[in-house]
Amino acid sequence: MKKRIILIQLFVITIVGISLADSDSTFISNFPTEAERVWPGPEYWTNPMEDWRLSNGCLECISGGGNRNVHILTRELANQSGDFEISVQAGLIEKGNDPGSVGFRIGIQDQIDDYRSRCFRGGGIDAGLTTDGKLFIQNQSKPLNHSIDLKSVKLTLTGKQAENGYTLTLTAMDQDTNESIGVITQTKISPNRLVGNIAVVNNHDRKIKNGPRFRFSDWTIRGDKIAAHEDRRFGPILWSMHTLSRKVMKMTAQMPPIGPNDAQTVRLQIQNEGEWETIGEAKIDPDARTATFRIADWDDTKDTPYRLLYAWKESDGVIRDEEWSGVVRKNPTEKEILVVSGLCCQTDEGFPHLELTRNVEIHNPDLLFFAGDQIYESVGGYGIIRTPADRSILNYLRKFYMFGWAFRDLMRDRVTLCLPDDHDVFQGNLWGNSGNAVSMEDHDAGGYAQPAQMVNAVHRTNTSHHPDFYDPTPIQQNISVYYGDMIYGGVSFAIVADRMFKSGPKETVATWPGRPDHVQDSSIDVTSLDKAGLILLGERQLSFLRDWAGDWRESVIKCLLSQTTFCNVATNHGEDLSMRLYADLDSNGWPQSGRNEALDIIRRAFAFHLCGDQHLPTLVQHGIDEFHDAGWAFCVPAISVGYPRAWRPDELGIPHSNRPAHGLPNTGDYLDCLNNLVTVYAVGNPEKQLRTDSRIHTLHDKSSGYGIIRFDKKKREIVVEAWKLIFDAANPRPVDQFPGWPKTIPLMENYGREAVAWLPTLRVSGMIDPVVQVIDESTNEIVYTLRINGTEFRPKVFKKGLYRVKIGEPSIKAMKTINGLESIPAEVTKIIDVKFD
Ligand SMILES: [Fe+2]
């Protein structure tokens, strides 16, 4: 193999008057003969991945469908003068029923100027050979000199620069006879069109259903118009995600579909006093293609450089350690403000999200939170495969790899939490119904439509690096769960799956024609949809949340993370927002009792709620019995909005009260679409007129963007920012946030309920910032728990009576209990000294 490379590199060729010496930019595919796998290697991107196989030293297309293609990532036609030559050996495997073609696409460009984007949306110049015996360059074609069986054809496309543009020449050579069987030439091609990605194509026409299939080998690219970009290799370790909580570091390396002859493990090393030390070796999961490490006793007091290693056989046959590296930052417990970026919902319209990732990097968050819809079914094109599970997983992984491709540089040095939502498991909406198996036609009745094996692979790719789960017992069909907590930088996060146990609307409440989740008839009484027995979070997650709400070890502020918001603040849906929805049962405003129960548990921890899903940024304060009596919730903007929603109560004459001082439209105290009490403080409605001159402008106008949440531990405040898509975070202006943001929320407002009475003031000595828990002695119920700021705190209570107060530091088990505290009116002053000296 090696010898052959040297021979080729010394070779200087002359075809149709073009002289091309080999240089650093020369590329030769050299597919390894012994490798049998789906993924060709780090130099390539295959479309779609599941339709290609590396086998017997060739890259085979296993689908006769249209527009199957392979991009070379490490070479491109550069915006520079010079000639080029691209050749490939193609062999017909199967003729199929429809005529088709084989050859190249070059100069692939997209309005988003990035080599990754061009792999999906780009158009270029097509050139190739049809199975009915014609050579073609764009619309021009010419029959071959004589027909052959296409079992072994070498296609060579050359570009030669001339005064009036480029001349492209495509030659076909019969490899069996070494004879030229045809040449076609096209002149006067603008140099502007010969910039961009290079691909080989199996069936150029995307409409072909059952066309021919080819195998490809000896793909060679050379010439001084070719630029090399070795840094664009993607893999074999594609990226990693990690978390750190309670001195346990967990990390998952995401791998491509490797083959049985490839290494099956990934190693993790950390740098210790300048030396790399191996601290773990993990097997690659055969479905999710993940390798997960769990390292206990992690020293979280310092930044730790890490690298993941994978023994990879290069195309020259030599095995080398390929690496992916980054830093596990020190636990930011001492930082006064923990910065979180809230992100969700990625259509591929904005891929690879250049503006957004650049801006998030400028904010330099400590933690990235992806709330769900890391993929949509449409991402990357080519549709979805639902079954069998192994094909479905490959189909999913290609889409998920696009998420990593866009965000991996942000994730490599930051703790990342990543929740799968409905689209991640190929369901437009998900009412998981504790894992019930359901068909897609019937999914509104509740359940998972995808094979459990695929669902579990999705869960693993998103959450296997999360801190250990609270109770990992799977649900029906052995579907995995992932609820649990993470304590990072003094903030305690609860992670729940707010769809996994939820009841479906079909056969439970939906009595109307049409979609069971859409109430489009204003005469339906939405309060009647809150039936007994309907589930939102489910008993298992509720009991976890109760535990979490009372556990304040190592934490100063608490925050719930889930996929979507616990209200229904969207009156208009659909592409032009003309669909008036009276209620949406996909929202977690339904079922209302489940919503209230969840809110009641988390307000007892003064917890803030951070989520996504809606594609409509909102900042609300929930009410259960009264407006403002529960916590605040921020639904972050979508990274790249597909399906838009809007909240337009003013136009629709929906009554409100207590509009905030900013006076913005559509804000104030409302009954939401499901009659829940919700104070809408801010909403980022899409523009009424969307710009259509570029996809990024359209996305911006549809309210794409992201959230930044600053947990200020010193001031016990949460600063909430909702940023738009297009702006410069290095020079931000007020208009770059959605109207109403930023907003500073005092932590105490997360249990905003009015006091009925008060307990005596607790005055602490010998300890600062102790945890205080108030218990109603008549019911033994925890009223709330929090970590106070400083040494003095006067607990409020919501009914008169006797209370027990636990106070101290639970991390070191230094807790004192004061029994029989009688509530007193606000105007009565009483002090109780609590001494830890
Ligand atoms: Fe979404």
pLDDT digits (tens, 9 = 90+) for 3-52: 343 333 333 444 444 556 667 899 999 999 989 999 999 999 999 999 99
What distance separates the 2 farthest-apart alpha carbons in the chain? 104
Strand order in the sheet with 275-283: 275-283, 265-272, 304-313, 319-328
Q: Rounded to whole angstroms, how far apart are CA atoms 801 and 793?
A: 19
613 C-alpha to center of ligand 1: Å?
A: 4
350 C-alpha to center of ligand 1: Å?
A: 14
366 C-alpha to center of ligand 1: Å?
A: 24
Looking at residue 39, its amino acid is: W
Cα dihedral across residues 543, 613, 491, 806: positive or negative: negative
Q: Rounded to whole angstroms, how far apart are CA atoms 459 and 457?
A: 5
Q: Rounded to whole angstroms, how far apart are CA atoms 214 and 208?
A: 14
How confident is the model over 525-581, as pLDDT tens digits? 999 999 999 999 999 999 999 999 999 999 999 999 999 999 999 999 999 999 999
Q: Give the pLDDT score at 464.
A: 98
Structure tokens belonging to residue 439? 């068909």
565 C-alpha to center of ligand 1: Å?
A: 12
425 C-alpha to center of ligand 1: Å?
A: 12
Cα angle vertex 708, ends 706, 714, to 5°? 170
> Which alpha helices (DSSP H) does 608-694 contain, by range?
649-652
Q: Rounded to whole angstroms, how far apart are CA atoms 326 and 244?
A: 14
427 C-alpha to center of ligand 1: Å?
A: 11
Looking at residue 33, its amino acid is: T
3-state secondary structure string across 756-782: CEECCEEEEECCCCCEEEEEECCCCEE
The CA-atom distances, in angstroms, between 436 and each of 143, 393, 443, 446 are: 58, 20, 10, 7
593 C-alpha to center of ligand 1: Å?
A: 24
Residue 638 confidence (pLDDT) above 70: yes
Taking residues 246-275, report their average pLDDT.
96
Question: Do residues 623 and 629 lie in contact, with contact meaning Cβ atoms separated by under 8 Å?
Answer: yes
Question: Do residues 144 and 96 lie in contact, with contact meaning Cβ atoms separated by under 8 Å?
Answer: no
Fold (topology level) of 757-835: Immunoglobulin-like (2.60.40)
214 C-alpha to center of ligand 1: Å?
A: 37
Place of tokens 């009925």: 756
Q: Rounded to whole angstroms, how far apart are CA atoms 118 and 601?
A: 48
60 C-alpha to center of ligand 1: Å?
A: 35
424 C-alpha to center of ligand 1: Å?
A: 9
Query: What architecture does CATH give domain 241-328?
Result: Sandwich (2.60)
422 C-alpha to center of ligand 1: Å?
A: 8
Q: Give the pLDDT score at 21.
A: 63
155 C-alpha to center of ligand 1: Å?
A: 44
Looking at residue 825, its amino acid is: P
634 C-alpha to center of ligand 1: Å?
A: 15
How confident is the model over 162-190, as pLDDT tens digits? 999 999 999 999 998 999 999 999 999 99
Pairing assessment for the beta strands 814-822 and 831-835 based on DSSP bridges: unpaired
Q: Rounded to whole angstroms, how far apart are CA atoms 118 and 77?
A: 12
- Which residue, among 782, 787, 708, 791, has the nearest Cα to 492 in the 3D structure? 787
614 C-alpha to center of ligand 1: Å?
A: 6
371 C-alpha to center of ligand 1: Å?
A: 9
397 C-alpha to center of ligand 1: Å?
A: 18
321 C-alpha to center of ligand 1: Å?
A: 38
Phi, psi of 176, deg, nearest 5: -70, -40
Q: Give the pLDDT score at 799.
A: 97
Average predicted confidence (pLDDT) for the chain = 96
The CA-atom distances, in angstroms, between 652 and each of 580, 655, 666 are: 10, 9, 10
Q: Please give the helix or strand (H or E) that residue 245 lies within, else none.
A: strand 239-245
- Which residue, among 337, 355, 410, has the nearest Cα to 729 in the 3D structure? 355
Taking residues 711-735, report their average pLDDT.
98
Question: Which CATH number applies to 348-751: 3.40.190.10, 3.60.21.10, 2.60.120.590, 3.30.1330.20?
Answer: 3.60.21.10
Pairing assessment for the beta strands 304-313 and 319-328 based on DSSP bridges: antiparallel
Taking residues 334-359, report their average pLDDT.
98
Would you list the domain boundaries of the chain? Answer: 2-232, 241-328, 348-751, 757-835
675 C-alpha to center of ligand 1: Å?
A: 23
Q: Does the N-terminal peptide bond of residue 48 adopt cis geometry, omega within 30 degrees of 0?
A: yes
639 C-alpha to center of ligand 1: Å?
A: 9
Q: Give the pLDDT score at 272.
A: 87
207 C-alpha to center of ligand 1: Å?
A: 29
378 C-alpha to center of ligand 1: Å?
A: 12
Taking residues 142-169, report their average pLDDT.
95
Neighbours of 179 (CB within 10 A): 12
Looking at residue 591, its amino acid is: P
Taking residues 437-444, report their average pLDDT.
97
Taking residues 793-808, report their average pLDDT.
98
101 C-alpha to center of ligand 1: Å?
A: 37
402 C-alpha to center of ligand 1: Å?
A: 16
431 C-alpha to center of ligand 1: Å?
A: 15
CA atoms within 13 A on the CB side of 534: 29
Question: Do residues 587 and 618 lie in contact, with contact meaning Cβ atoms separated by under 8 Å?
Answer: no
Q: Rounded to whole angstroms, how far apart are CA atoms 752 and 627?
A: 9
The CA-atom distances, in angstroms, between 308 and each of 182, 272, 292, 829 are: 49, 15, 11, 61
18 C-alpha to center of ligand 1: Å?
A: 51
Q: Give the pLDDT score at 86.
A: 98
Q: Please give the helix or strand (H or E) that residue 9 lies within, else none.
A: helix 2-10
518 C-alpha to center of ligand 1: Å?
A: 16
Q: What is the DSSP letter of 515?
A: -
Q: Give the pLDDT score at 20.
A: 64
189 C-alpha to center of ligand 1: Å?
A: 42
How confident is the model over 452-485, as pLDDT tens digits? 999 999 999 999 999 999 999 999 999 999 999 9
Structure tokens belonging to residue 403? 């998420």
Query: What architecture does CATH give domain 2-232?
Result: Sandwich (2.60)
Of how many residues is the chain composed?
A: 837
Spatial neighbors of 706 by CB under 8 A, at least 6 apart, are: 341, 342, 343, 356, 359, 360, 636, 637, 639, 722, 723
Residue 2 confidence (pLDDT) above 60: no
638 C-alpha to center of ligand 1: Å?
A: 7
Q: Point out which residues pair with 242 in neighbouring strands.
A: 251, 415
Structure tokens belonging to residue 295? 């390292």
Q: Taking ligand 1, which is a single-atom ion, which protein residues have CB atoms under 5 Å away?
A: 345, 373
pLDDT band at 143; cut points 50, 70, 90: very high
Would you say the CATH fold of 757-835 matches that of 241-328? yes
How confident is the model over 659-696, as pLDDT tens digits? 999 999 999 999 999 999 999 999 999 999 999 999 99
Spatial neighbors of 356 by CB under 8 A, at least 6 apart, are: 350, 639, 704, 705, 706, 725
Q: Does the N-terminal peptide bond of residue 388 adopt cis geometry, omega within 30 degrees of 0?
A: yes
